[in-house]
Amino acid sequence: MSAALQPGSPAPDFTLSDQKGNKVRLSDYLGKCPVVLYFYPKDDTTGCTKEACKFRDEFESFRERGAVILGVSDDSAESHDRFAAKYQLPFLLLSDPGGTVRKLYGVKKTFGIIPGRMTFVIDRAGRIQKVFSSQTEFERHVDEALRALLG
């Protein structure tokens, strides 16, 4: 597994399916808008729900800054669809079965078993501007991403 990417690094491109089964490529957004790419352990668990709902509640603040939010976990598109519907999440959730993109970004597992929680803010040019990692400070991921977009 590679080390986590750092600010200034180019963001690796990827293609994953969203909650509706549509293919989403990071490169589709480059040159157009900043991307907040957040990795989380599992749909509909306490911490992940708090984090997703905080992103939902601050969605307009991200839109005002021109940013797109992409959530990524190993869960299936069907699981993501249920999770997004249950909490009215207005952003895309991407399915990363096997954690290929998670590994590409160097998002390590906690205790070797729990998928890590990391947020990357990627600028229009495709460079990582901010990396925040905390398995337990769920809502702080949102605050750190907003702060990075203001900076």
The pLDDT tens digits of the residues spanning 126-135 come to: 999 999 999 9
Q: What average pLDDT score do residues 65-93 get?
A: 98
**Distance (Å, whole) CA 104 – CA 69:** 19
Fold classified for 16-150 = Glutaredoxin (3.40.30)
What is the predicted pLDDT for the residue at 3? 64
Is 48 part of the annotated catalytic residue set?
Answer: yes
For residue range 104-123, what is the model confidence (pLDDT) as tens digits? 999 998 887 888 999 999 99
* Total-model pTM: 0.95
- Return the SS3 of 28: helix
Q: Burial, 55: exposed, middle or buried (Cβ in 10 Å; 0-12, 13-18, 19+)?
A: buried
Among the listed residues 48, 93, 142, 149, the single catalytic one is 48
Give the percent of the chain with pLDDT over 90. Answer: 89
- Is a pLDDT exceeding 80 seen at residue 1? no
- Is a pLDDT exceeding 60 seen at residue 2? no
Helix (H) or strand (E) holding 141: helix 140-150
CA max distance for the chain: 38
